[in-house]
Structure 1
């Protein structure tokens, strides 16, 4: 959709909104389209496309006819859009509800639903002033979607298109191509599951996204209808947790403290462990519980030559497969790529559809927020000042067909402050899209188990208000379910949260798996945040004199040491909080990511990216500690490889070869 088409659609929308009687096609052709070509067929096709585009934005284009005449007669057929067509109802929120809403809108770590949540929040802000609220001290829960497959499945599910993908079947251990009508997507047991109709088996099935072995292909020329009463949470509640089993693993002496902490006592070791032969010299044999061999295989693969899965056989096969895939990808030819000049995090390319959606939010936002600085408005919409001024220039040239100057949108930004005095009935935002409704309502339901959030009734009242405002789109939120957000160790979570609120210093005993050591340190905690139910806290660490992030499940002991936190310390400021704090002496590493693994560019805050023809990426990422990069490559089993620096790429390949040698090469 070109800029001229963006202007045309905006003018067509204004014309149809501001007519009570309706406008004939000939009037629209002359006054809005300025078409004098005389080609009725070409104009008719263009007009039908534009009507469909407006319907996709949610505006119902009404067709009116004179009494006794047919719609087939263009001379007697008129078109208009009702004043209330697709308008978001007024939603009045209390300060406590704004607090919960801000938390819910920040939940999605990235991906399409993160963009949708921010868009929905802007619509609510556009209909009224945001109350002055304070978020709970240092608390930033987040949902981490399962890579690119998550985005693709959500897009297909909301547009009602089937999907196809390769899947590692748990029953056979083989790759199988599946074609599925996606009904719902939800998180259980720390994993994301797709529930839908498997066309080959003619039955409903569950699919774990971490078992997808190919990119998701959307069959956008086919459609389906999901069950009317489908609810993903109810469906996943019936999903049984995998049984607890015991694995046998050989571990290098004196290494892998995190794994050894979970070792079973001798009485719990499988009776047939001794039958697996003796461990190699320098290794010890341990047993540990697991439920899913793929999850444990991911961890064991990351330990490389320091660990070898011994039993059961399916675990051995899963680790070997990951190491083989990582080694093959690392040995493949380097693709041609070119970084764009601007250094920026990867983002979805902006389209003219995005621009029109933004402008439909921009007008009501300016109506309710007169006189804001132009840069503040640009920041609010996540665009540059130049992009915002492009929007404003299109808007001030838009208005009623062949109208007087008073019939145009009147927007001024003299002295860098933006005012609007003529809005032409665009003063209310359009209704939530399905993505926007799902992002907010799923986020609110996910917050339900978070300490300190559900009390007081604000969460429940806000949910009811948004359900009423979302209408039919809100009902579609039953197809999406977030993870449980409650921390595994509530006592440690509470200790850190209280210390943040009281500005107290903590003494910490902490296990670092990457460095394979336990350390003691004094820290000043600044904020708590999560990825699903894995919780972290950011703190100023006095041992290293800098900001660091700590996982709560790796904290062995924590207590206030009786001192106050240092004055003037603040969190890094990023929302959402970053797992990794950049430093001047970090190493810039160039990695190649497959389409399945491209989400790692966001996870690790890539500074530059280059698109590849197969849907993958080349990304530049800064790492403070490069010694663990071979673990990183092995863990993701063929989704990532190191391209540069060459010495790091070579080290990773050698490390992977040594790891495979532990399994017979």
Structure 2
């Protein structure tokens, strides 16, 4: 869509919005498409009507029946001013605080952008209270895999998808064609639910078992069941049965693994201590429910672990190690880092620009006089991009071109004022993606101690459901994870210490150092990645801010001291499990398409896109011993390109692990 077409669509929109009885095709052609031929006009008009419908405007067709046989029927077109508008939504300060917390849950680009767009519409529809998100708690949702955004788009557009899938029940990899009905999280995993066309039945697919990219089919659309609710469907899934594995580990090592395992002494009877073999190793009896999840963890331990049984678990570990070897032996791709852009970004399209301008006008109406850079920051664009939007807007309006028929926007002295808004004072109703982003986020907050007890959570959810209408009902196609930690008592201890400004004494298991350490910490805030929770705290032993996982804490209790550091020392951005530091070592990684999300997880300083959809990324690491574990854990999705010493260490780690399995 060119700038000319963007301007034409805006002119068509304003013409159809500002007619009471509708405009004939001949009138539209004369006013909006003056230089087009009959064929070109028909083609462009039909395409433009479809685009306006995609942007949330229902183009109505009105038929005049005429006065008699000599007066033929006439077709007119118009857009109702109320049918496509978001209703006014008045929110209290408490409701805004809860809503902001829900909107910031999403780390995935598509849902995060949709949530931000929805917030801007609400700000234009009813005004925003000046509130801040509580800094003490920051839950986050990051759907696994790059397939998530593609599946969400296909699900809402109602297009079928294809992908290769490794079935957990049979271990067979097959090409599947599925009509996506819903996406949701269950047992710590994201699932796609939909009609499998080959089997003509509802099936569930775990995103982590996808072995290829997701392709969207252009063979028409489908209609899912009207009463489909992904949360209710996933609730029917039974938890996998509890199984046990026997793994061989060095005596006294791998403390994190031992915390949930049983030692099996020589002779096979269950016990609690003692090496079982002459070479100084222990055999642990390890409970598990999902072999693939456990295999990912065991693969990361490399040569320190050998799976004795069951065979399917050992096979899963070997598959990851072999995949890591194949990637390490493949040719190094040609790449170059983009010096102008440190992070990869989705290309901005003209459709993005038109949507932004439709939000921009009502936003400016309710926020007169903002600094132009502040407006650009609100919409996530540069100042130059915003000024381009404004220049297009002031050239568009009603077809007649009389005074008052064009948008009048001024930004003298860098402050933006809108003088003539052509009654575009209220934003377009929520899209399905925007409704899903906010309503799913609010639902995920239900189990948290602080928001769950707040009546604002229930009231703002009801208001959004009413405002979203049909799009709100379709939000049942998306269900987020349960973000409540299993370590709820630990979470409450930390929350209380943050509120009272108290210090805590911690016994903590470090998997990388394979030791239990004791520390005094000043807790600053709690944050999560799905259902894995962390506390960001000032560690007095390390002399700086560190992150600690709640599920790795052996004990946590107040030590009677007052905290010396507070939340004012936190950065302005969202909390992350991995925080790079200037003194860390820079490592260059090659990431496949499936593993490209690791660049964001580890806050890549710069990236280079590869033709196959993968990335080359520079990340900072504080301890090089962690790199071989990362390569083995994500077997076949990541390898080290530089420095060579770290690349060699990763190769040796994987080869030594394979040697323990006889190859």
Smaller-chain TM-score range? over 0.9
Q: Which residue of 2 aligns with 1:25?
A: 25
Query: 2:219 aligns to what SS in structure 1?
Result: coil
Task: Write the mapping of 1:649-660 to structure 2, written as runs, cut at 5 A.
Answer: 649-660=647-658
Measure the CA separation in 2 of the matches of 1:623 and 1:358: 38
- Summarize deviations over 1:319-355 as a string: whole Å, max 9, x none: 0001111111121111122322223333222111111
Name stretches of at least 5 consecutive residues in structure 1 with no aligned partner: none
Q: Which residue of 2 aligns with 1:3?
A: 3
Measure the CA separation in 2 of the matches of 1:365 and 1:270: 70
Measure the CA separation in 1 of the matches of 2:72 and 2:139: 56
Q: Which residue of 1 aligns with 2:612?
A: 614
Q: Which residue of 1 aligns with 2:465?
A: 467
| TM-score of the aligned structures, taking structure 1 as reference length | 0.95
RMSD: 2.3
Measure the CA separation in 1 of the matches of 2:60 and 2:643: 61
Kindly state the Cα deviation for residue 49 of structure 1 after the two structures are TM-superposed.
0.8
Contact kept, 8 Å, 1:246 with 1:269, in 2: the verdict is no
Specify whether residues 588 and 222 from structure 1 end up closer, same or farther in structure 2 by C-alpha distance, changes over 3 A only.
farther
Contact kept, 8 Å, 1:83 with 1:425, in 2: the verdict is no
Q: Which residue of 2 aligns with 1:141?
A: 139
Kindly state the Cα deviation for residue 55 of structure 1 after the two structures are TM-superposed.
0.9
Match of 1:587 among 585, 588, 593: 585
Measure the CA separation in 2 of the matches of 1:288 and 1:308: 12
Measure the CA separation in 2 of the matches of 1:663 and 1:111: 40
- The answer to whether the aligner puts 1:418 opposite 2:390 as a matched pair is no
Specify whether residues 10 and 269 from structure 1 end up closer, same or farther in structure 2 by C-alpha distance, changes over 3 A only.
farther
- Which of 58-67 and 79-88 deviates more? 58-67
- Summarize deviations over 1:482-502 as a string: whole Å, max 9, x none: 111111111110111111112
Q: Which residue of 2 aligns with 1:116?
A: 114
Match of 1:208 among 193, 206, 209: 206
Contact kept, 8 Å, 2:276 with 2:282, in 1: the verdict is no
Name stretches of at least 5 consecutive residues in structure 2 with no aligned partner: none
Q: Which residue of 1 aligns with 2:81?
A: 83
Contact kept, 8 Å, 1:500 with 1:525, in 2: the verdict is yes
Query: 2:221 aligns to what SS in structure 1?
Result: coil
Match of 1:449 among 447, 450, 455: 447
Specify whether residues 247 and 126 from structure 1 end up closer, same or farther in structure 2 by C-alpha distance, changes over 3 A only.
same
Q: Which residue of 2 aligns with 1:516?
A: 514
Contact kept, 8 Å, 1:147 with 1:599, in 2: the verdict is yes
- The answer to whether the aligner puts 1:503 opposite 2:501 as a matched pair is yes
Task: Write the mapping of 1:153-192 to structure 2, written as runs, cut at 5 A.
Answer: 153-192=151-190
Q: Which residue of 1 aligns with 2:244?
A: 246
Q: Which residue of 2 aligns with 1:224?
A: 222
Query: 1:207 aligns to what SS in structure 2?
Result: strand
- The answer to whether the aligner puts 1:264 opposite 2:259 as a matched pair is no
How many aligned positions are there? 658
Kindly state the Cα deviation for residue 514 of structure 1 after the two structures are TM-superposed.
1.7
Measure the CA separation in 2 of the matches of 1:435 and 1:270: 55
Match of 1:381 among 379, 385, 396: 379
Q: Which residue of 1 aligns with 2:35?
A: 36
Q: Which residue of 1 aligns with 2:284?
A: 286
- The answer to whether the aligner puts 1:545 opposite 2:508 as a matched pair is no
Query: 2:99 aligns to what SS in structure 1?
Result: helix
Kindly state the Cα deviation for residue 645 of structure 1 after the two structures are TM-superposed.
2.1
Specify whether residues 419 and 656 from structure 1 end up closer, same or farther in structure 2 by C-alpha distance, changes over 3 A only.
same
Query: 1:220 aligns to what SS in structure 2?
Result: strand
Kindly state the Cα deviation for residue 589 of structure 1 after the two structures are TM-superposed.
2.0
Kindly state the Cα deviation for residue 582 of structure 1 after the two structures are TM-superposed.
2.1
Kindly state the Cα deviation for residue 588 of structure 1 after the two structures are TM-superposed.
2.2
Q: Which residue of 2 aligns with 1:639?
A: 637
Kindly state the Cα deviation for residue 641 of structure 1 after the two structures are TM-superposed.
1.6
Task: Write the mapping of 1:271-350 to structure 2, written as runs, cut at 5 A.
Answer: 281-350=279-348
Kindly state the Cα deviation for residue 192 of structure 1 after the two structures are TM-superposed.
1.1
Q: Which residue of 2 aligns with 1:596?
A: 594
Measure the CA separation in 1 of the matches of 2:505 and 2:84: 55
- Summarize deviations over 1:128-150 as a string: whole Å, max 9, x none: 22113343351111112012122
Kindly state the Cα deviation for residue 74 of structure 1 after the two structures are TM-superposed.
11
